[in-house]
Amino acid sequence: MKVTFKDEVFEIEENTTILEFLKQKDEQLLKSACAAKLNGTLCDLRDVLVENSNLKIFTFEDEEGKRAYWHTTAHILAQAIKRIFKKAEFGVGPSIENGFFYDVVTSPAISIKDFTKIEEEMMKIVKENLEVKREIISYDEARKMFEKDGQKYKLQLIEEIKNKGEKISIYKQGEFFDLCSGPHLISTGQVKAVKLLNLTGAYWKGDAENEMLSRVYGISFLNEESLKDYLTLREEAKRVDHRKLGKELKLFNFVEEGPGFCFFLPNGVIIKNSLIKYWRKEHEKAGYKEIITPTILSRKLWETSGHWEHYKENMYTTIIDEQDFAIKPMNCPGAILIYKMHSHSYKELPLRLCEFGMVHRHELSGTLHGLMRARCFTQDDAHIFLDKTQIKEEVKRIIELIARIYKKFGFSYSLELATMPEDHIGDEKTWDEATDSLKQAIEDFNINYKVNEKDGAFYGPKIDFYLKDCLNRRWQCGTVQLDFQLPQRFNLEFIGKDGQKHTPIMIHRVVYGSIERFIGILTEHFAGSFPFFIAPVQVKILPVSAKFFEFAKEVYNEILNAGFRAKLDLKDEKLGFKIRQAQLEKVPFAIIIGEKEEKTKTISVRERKSTETKETTLEEFLKKLKEME
């Protein structure tokens, strides 16, 4: 038998496991291995290699390795809970972006006070170094096991798996067993440092009609130092939480009367409008034409687009003139209707239509998180209609545009290519063509990217852009989605060079993603100290006393007339207080006006992050501001 590993081909004996193979070929890698991928499928290290296997190993440094590591820790958490609360009933316990959680029902209910003893029990399980084993069992065996253990939620999941015709997979470690598809670590002893982080309520299957379970969140790492670093960053994240800073800086707020709906205050509106102004400027240069489409459109439209079938549970609906209508959750069907209003020639393509479109989506209350997960937000959408032959070059133009805009904010980013999901429309051949076009465009830039299997939109594959902030958190913002399906569904046409009718390809594309969410990311990334060109107040003028108010007003008016946002502080307070207030408001520049400045007709400027004050002329200062726009 042959196996391909790290671009080399090895001869192996039949029934060799991945674990045995690594012991022979790369014992150093074995020490850090968390999971594997065999011929494109994630698996455990105990899985058996087959003829012509293509093997890839994942460590904790890889996302796939982290998921296996955290998923195993979730099982350790459940085992610890079961040892402490003998009659605990379990829901689901997956790995998530940062750690893991487990949904559980106990009597009495788990509280944060229980975290210490649960963590202690988890570390006992780690020290026991229990072997983690996977077994495939029959539906009857599974029902008997979980029924005897009193696991009613697991029994529901078993029925669902049976109805799908899938195999029943369980994992065992010591006395504990769980329904799970894996992959997992070899043993519990590989987990080194654990911390439980939070406790919330969660409806079973996310349905408010179902029972409420306790959701215990946690994190684990390879060592205590990494855990300590993570907890430090977590505390820093609390300090820069956009919801907290939004209130303090009077940018935006949320109220009980509108859960998931943001109220923007004047300072927040300035930031939003500044982002829109910059965006419009870049898109005008790039050949886009801005449109505005209605917020409410008929059910018939959403049925044609496929949203009514695939997305209805997330849509807000209403009845107008005894007909069903929906508040748009996405802007694309509106752009399609605009395209259909006129006939088109190949000479017009690519036709780039862009829109700041407000959309509404019904997110579950438990998932709402300020601007990061809201029910109403504005997408900076663009829908591009083009010929097949134009795909690669157009996607490259989009990548360049997105990169330029992110650079303006100093963001680094990574790319992920998401492929065909199970719940898709259209044939596989068309999907393969679309996916290959995106691959070629990325590879022309020599950019490293990750393939995110089965995570595309239901109508086409996509490229997702992930920003990295100052706390090393990743945020998915930009996306480029290739769509061969909607143009066919809506019978879109253009006249080709041959004089015949052809169906265009459609690209769905955002840069900010949601402008509200982007503001949330910026707020946390800059801890409220926004870049000069979007800062609500760019310059604050601080006269030392009332004696210098008149000259301060002259400076203030000149700054305003030059087109910058300024604020004049005429309060009867000491200068130190005024400077401190400007710092708390995170204003980029404070100008101090006193006797010296009035006499020499100069200004003393103090930058936001500096303790020094520099004397200059107003003319030189305004010149500097223009360079920062």
Going from the C-alpha of 473 to that of each of 230, 234, 377, 466, the distances in angstroms are 11, 10, 22, 9
User: Could you tell me which of 386, 409, 422 has the C-alpha nearest to residue 531?
Assistant: 409
Give the whole-angstrom CA distance, residue 511 versus residue 375: 19
Give the whole-angstrom CA distance, residue 44 versus residue 465: 30
Asked: is 264-295+328-525 a CATH 3.30.930.10 domain? The reply is yes
pLDDT at site 75: 97
Going from the C-alpha of 213 to that of each of 104, 152, 227, 526, the distances in angstroms are 6, 13, 27, 36
pLDDT at site 600: 93
Looking at CATH, the fold of the domain delimited by 2-59 is given as Ubiquitin-like (UB roll) (3.10.20)
pLDDT at site 433: 84
pLDDT at site 609: 84
Asked: is 64-238 a CATH 3.30.420.40 domain? The reply is no
Low-confidence ranges of the chain (pLDDT < 50): none
User: Could you tell me which of 481, 484, 483 has the C-alpha nearest to residue 509?
Assistant: 481
Q: Which residues contact 540 (CB under 8 A, 6 or more apart)?
A: 566, 567, 568, 569, 582, 585, 587, 589, 590, 591
User: Could you tell me which of 103, 101, 83 has the C-alpha nearest to residue 91?
Assistant: 103
Domain residues of the chain, as ranges?
Answer: 2-59, 64-238, 264-295+328-525, 537-628
Q: Which two tokens stand for residue 344?
A: 């088109």
User: Could you tell me which of 513, 534, 521, 286 has the C-alpha nearest to residue 408?
Assistant: 534
pLDDT at site 323: 93
Q: Which two tokens stand for residue 134?
A: 């996977």
- For domain 537-628, the CATH class is alpha beta
pLDDT at site 39: 86
What DSSP designation does 536 have? S
Strand order in the sheet with 317-320: 296-298, 323-327, 317-320
Catalytic residue set: 332, 361, 379, 381, 383, 462, 508
pLDDT at site 306: 84
